[in-house]
C-alpha cells in the first residue's frame, strides 16, 4: 500500500489537493478500526491513495506517480529532508531487489 507522508509528497505523487487535505485533516485522525472500515466499505476501487468523500462520490481518481530512484533530486528540490529522502530511496531499492527487477 502506498503511504502518503504529507502534503508535499502527495503533490509529488499527483494526488488531488482535496484528497490530500482530507487525508491529513480527517482520515489520519480516525481510529484504527474506522480506517479499516473505510477501506472495506467505502473505497473498494482503491487507486493507491485515500480519496476524499467528494472524489469517492464522483468516482474520480488520478493515476498516481510511483517514485523511483530518479526522484531523489526532485524530492530534495521540493524541500524534503535528506534523511526522509534517503529512507524512501532505500525502500525503493529494497523493493526492486525483491521484485527481481533491476
Query: What does the CA dihedral 87, 27, 9, 102 come to, rounded to 10 degrees?
Result: 50
Q: In the set 16, 49, 50, 61, which binds Zn ion (CB under 5 A)?
A: 16
Going residue by residue from 56 to 95, which x/- string records binding to Zn ion, judged by CB under 5 A?
A: -----------x---x------------------------
Minimum gap (Å) between residue 40 Cβ and Zn ion: 19
Rounded least distance, CB 97 to Zn ion, Å: 19
73 exposed, middle or buried (CB, 10 Å; 0-12, 13-18, 19+)? exposed
Amino acid at each position: 500500500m502506498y503511504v502518503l507522508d504529507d502534503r508535499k509528497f502527495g503533490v509529488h505523487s499527483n494526488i488531488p489537493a482535496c484528497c490530500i487535505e482530507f487525508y491529513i485533516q480527517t482520515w489520519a485522525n480516525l481510529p484504527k478500526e474506522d480506517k479499516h472500515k473505510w477501506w472495506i466499505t467505502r473505497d473498494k476501487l482503491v487507486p493507491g491513495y485515500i480519496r476524499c468523500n467528494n472524489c469517492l462520490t464522483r468516482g474520480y481518481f488520478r493515476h498516481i506517480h510511483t517514485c523511483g530512484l530518479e526522484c531523489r533530486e526532485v524530492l530534495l528540490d521540493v524541500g524534503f529532508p535528506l534523511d526522509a529522502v534517503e529512507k524512501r530511496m532505500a525502500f525503493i531499492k529494497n523493493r526492486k531487489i525483491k521484485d527481481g527487477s533491476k
